[in-house]
Amino acid sequence: MLEIKDLYVGYYRDLNILQGVNLTAKEGMITTVLGANGVGKSTTLKAIYGFLRPNEGDILVDGQSVLGVPTYERIKMGLAYI
C-alpha cells in the first residue's frame, strides 16, 4: 500500500506547489491522479519516486517511510514511473 500523508512539495523551499496532499493507494487497485494542467500531478509523482524531496509530510510504502530512500531502492519496492 502507498500512503501520502500531509505532503508539501515545491521546487523552492518556501513555494509549495502541493499543500497538504493525502492519498492512499491500496495494493492490487488501479489508482489515477487526475487534474487540470499545472495542478501538481507530475510533482506528486516526482515526490513519490524520489526526484523531488518533500518540504513536509511523509510517503509510506507498506507502512514504512521512503523519505531518504534512493530512487533505485524505491524501484525494488515496486514503485515505477511510466
Contact by Cβ (8 Å): 61, 1? yes
Predicted pLDDT of residue 44:
94
In which band, very low, low, confident or very high, does the pLDDT at 60 lie, cut at 50, 70 and 90? very high
pLDDT over 90 (residue 11): no
Domains parsed from the chain with CATH numbers: 2-76 (3.40.50.300)
Residues 25-51 pLDDT 10s: 998 888 888 999 999 999 999 999 888
Of all residues in the chain, the percent with pLDDT exceeding 90 is 63
Contact by Cβ (8 Å): 53, 33? no
pTM of the prediction?
0.86
Of all residues in the chain, the percent with pLDDT exceeding 70 is 100
Which residues are bridge partners to 18 per DSSP? 9
Predicted pLDDT of residue 13:
76
